[in-house]
Amino acid sequence: MSNKSWIVYTFMVVITWGVWGAFSAWPTTHYGYPDQWIYIIWSLTMLIPCWFSLRGQRFDTSGTAILYGCLIGFTGAGGQLLLFKTLAMGAPAYLVFPIISISPAITVMMSLVMLKERVNKLGALGVVLALLSILMFSISSGNSDKGEGLLWLFYSVIICIAWGVQAFFMKRASNLGVKDSSVFGYMTLTGIVLAPVAWLMLADKGASYPLMATLATAFIQLLNAVGALCLVMALSRGKATIIAPCTNALAPVLTAVISLIVYQSMPGAWALAGIVLAISGSTMMVYSEEKQNAIKLSTAL
């Protein structure tokens, strides 16, 4: 793959997660489909991109692969389950999601300190704008629900840390030579392992839902799963300091555009500000990174 392949995979994450975000609530709003069932179906849809990624590849069972595979899988899937529990407690979504949205900042800081990744001034400005845009989108999607106590705050911080650390571990695993296919294989396995926990969290285990709700959920969550695989592939080819904030900033932009077209839902002031910051920041990051690569190439020649 060329050194620009990380851009392709990064924008594939944006496309799949942007479309997924626009329709992710559809099964719940139309059929009352519970989040726990959505998690279970998501864990099973992971098998499809996993099969394609592992086809013709050797599944890495070394100690390093197992360690980082489990760390990546359980921090991602565990954070998702904890999010369901947090929202079920009646936690204020308008505060929960802005806290979780800071996770790319954790990835950036860990990559700068522990992986010694570096970005130039323009790239750093792009990272800052992208992180700000994520916060704007989170604030714009809030509501007026009220949570009880501060346990939701503790859970939200845990989720934020888990997802920030997960992206860092993806990059770290790649640096240690663990292939994309094996990393995603472990993510799939850990997601399925936690499916029984989601089942136990169901309030009404005997409830039945239309077939259309299940099929729609499966298709929507397949986009989520494919995006996760593309994220693993992007992080193995590019800098986590660029990719993590870029994907988290641009995906909501596509979600907002699709929502405007499909639902005739005009973004609010915060979301519009987020769109401007996301596009500006992401453009700066990609341009600065490619400019650095061009300088390195010309120097080498």
Average pLDDT over the chain reads 82
* CA 15/CA 19 separation, integer angstroms: 6
Letter string b/e over residues 50-60, b meaning 16 or more CB atoms within 10 A of that residue's CB: beebbeeeeeb
Residue 264, by phi and psi: left (phi above 0), alpha (psi -120 to 50) or beta? left
The residue count of the chain comes to 301
What per-residue confidence (pLDDT) applies to 71? 96
Whole-number pLDDT of residue 219: 95
Mean pLDDT, to the nearest integer, of 6-29? 89
pLDDT number for residue 298: 56
Whole-model pTM: value is: 0.81
What integer pLDDT is reported at residue 295 of this predicted model? 56
Q: Tens of pLDDT along 122-151? A: 777 877 877 777 667 666 655 444 444 578
Mean local confidence (pLDDT), 236-252: 84
How does pLDDT run across 178-215, given as a tens digit for each residue? 999 999 999 999 999 999 999 998 878 888 899 999 99
Of 25-29, 31-35, 188-192, which one has max mean pLDDT?
188-192
d(CA 212, CA 276): 37
pLDDT in the model for residue 160: 86
Q: Where are the domains of the chain?
A: 5-300
On the question of pLDDT at 218 being above 90, the answer is yes
Picking from 226, 238, 217, the residue whose alpha carbon sits closest to that of residue 27 is: 217
Please give the structure tokens belonging to residue 268. 């609010």
pLDDT tens readout for residues 252-299: 778 778 877 887 766 677 777 777 777 777 677 666 766 665 555 555
**Residue pLDDT, tens place only, 146-170:** 444 578 778 888 988 999 899 999 9
State residue 225's pLDDT score: 95
pLDDT (tens digit per residue) in 49-73: 999 999 989 999 999 999 999 999 9
Question: What is the reported pLDDT for 58?
Answer: 92
Please compute the mean of the pLDDT values over residues 62-87 and round it to a whole number. 90
